[in-house]
Amino acid sequence: MQTITLHADKNTIDKLLEFISANKLNIKIDKQDKIKDEVLDTIEQIKKGTMKTYTFDDSLKRTDELLKSLKT
């Protein structure tokens, strides 16, 4: 068995998948959307409270602290 990876726009991939399906080709397709999986994982972590989130003000305060520490 050989594996290929395709990088193309969604429309092109959809057309290719339709062609494979219409011609009943013996091809195993593993759909992966890593960005979507990562976003869903992040949402789940936030819901469960296992991921620390910061407000914009928290980020500004921390950035200021880091910049001040570099000056000394």
pTM, entire model: 0.38
Task: Please state the φ and ψ torsions of residue 9, each to the nearest 5 degrees.
Answer: -70, 160
Express each pLDDT in 19-68 by its tens digit. Answer: 888 888 887 776 667 777 888 888 899 899 998 888 999 999 999 999 99
Q: What is the 3-state secondary structure (H, E, C) of 34-64?
A: HHHHHHHHHHHHHHHCCCCCCCHHHHHHHHH
